[in-house]
Chain A
Amino acid sequence: MADISAISDDRRDAELGGAVGDYFALLKPRVMSLVIFTAMTGMAAAPGGMHPALALIALIAIAVGAGASGALNMWWDADIDAVMERTKKRPVPGGRVSGDEALVFGLVLSCLSVLTLGATVNWVAGGLLALTIAFYVVVYSMWLKRRTPQNIVIGGAAGAFPPMIGWAAVTGTISLDSLILFLIIFMWTPPHFWALALFRTKDYEAAGVPMLPVVAGARETRRQIVIYSALLAPLGLAPVATGLGGWVYGVVALALGGMFLALAVKLWRAGDGPQSDKAAKSLFGFSILYLFALFAVLLAEHVVRHILG
């Protein structure tokens, strides 16, 4: 046990060891909940069936894998997290969990989640989960995040994999439909994070993270947001073309896609004026609703189809 009699107050928490809640926070529970939700949609939308117990195990493994990548990201990014207002209270920069503990925690959970998914469900899904973790930690966090404004464009793939993993858990394969689900999240990620970066530019600047508003300015970021939103809106309708989504999904995707694009254009028109931050926050908030609603409708349609046989 560490000698805790001589420690200073600011290191007290680290010497005492993190509480269980701090380790849970390392898993980025809010991100994890979105991963569970999109993976579940991928599973429900996939053709064929799966034993409910295996489906539950698959979801747990995917969630833990996503959480593990979050812990590894927090270990690697502790220095810049400490500078940013939004992240400075996270367990590692807050001094409640040491970097080494976060690293070991993330590595152990990564291995366990991949092995569990591979051994109990199938190795295509297990392999995709391993790829997701590696992509998020190595490609996004270690390689791209501090080097290029395209960090979240390419790194966004990590967040787009979960529905594909869910699909692979049921079918053991990757198909056009699962690729479409991947592409929807992939195309959604840049406008979502750039909207956030627009009203958190100073944070990213202070941390030295080359987000698009920091490197290319707010005007170029708003232009890119409009471009990606214009690509996302029709892409959201692609599941209807392949039969993956029904007419209810089509109507919702059309309405939400139109709203997304309208908010992006509104942000573009706001310019650098006083309404700029408000417009960016509106788009950021709506983007979360957009993805949630799109996948919720798809999930509901397939659950109804399963019930009606």
Chain B
Amino acid sequence: MAATTEMDMLEYKRRQKLRSIAIGFGLAALVVMFYVATIVRLGPNALRKDGMGKPAATSPLKSNAVQPAADAACKKAGTC
């Protein structure tokens, strides 16, 4: 019985260690997935060191529809 118990103890620790390693890999995979998804979703701007991204082309302030009107307004006011 003592031999069996010792073997059980070793087997218990072996299984526990393997389960811990598997959980570790699972968590690491989760972190990597969220990291990659963030980089992909933010696009190349995520890698700029100054933290400033290129303004989006669809921004209302820079869109073709709004910009001419803004230019005309600043010329009229003499603030350009």
Which residue numbers of A lie inside 8 Å of B, CB to CB?
Answer: 1, 4-5, 12, 15-20, 23, 51, 53-54, 57, 60, 112, 116, 119-121
Contacts and interface: CB of A to CB of B under 8 A. Distances in A.
Interface in B10-26: 11-12, 15-16, 18-19, 22
B59 interface: no
Contacts of A15: 8, 12
B73 interface: no
B37 A120 contact: yes
Nearest to B38: A120
Contacts of B1: 5
Interface residues of B, number: 19
A20 B5 contact: no
B8 A23 contact: no
B66 interface: no
Contact of B12 (A16, A23, A57, A121): A16
B11 A16 contact: yes
Nearest to A24: B22
Contact of A120 (B5, B12, B19, B33): B33
A18 B12 contact: no
Contacts of B40: 51, 53-54
A116 B29 CA distance: 11
Nearest to A18: B15
7 contacts: A4-B8, A12-B8, A15-B8, A17-B15, A53-B36, A119-B37, A120-B34
A53 B22 contact: no
B8 A112 contact: no
A4 B12 contact: yes
Contact of B9 (A4, A53, A119): A4
Contact of A17 (B12, B22, B33, B36): B12
A23 B26 CA distance: 13
A46 to B, nearest CB: 18
B37 A19 contact: no
A168 B56 CA distance: 26
A119 B8 CA distance: 43
Contacts of B30: 112, 116
Nearest to B25: A20
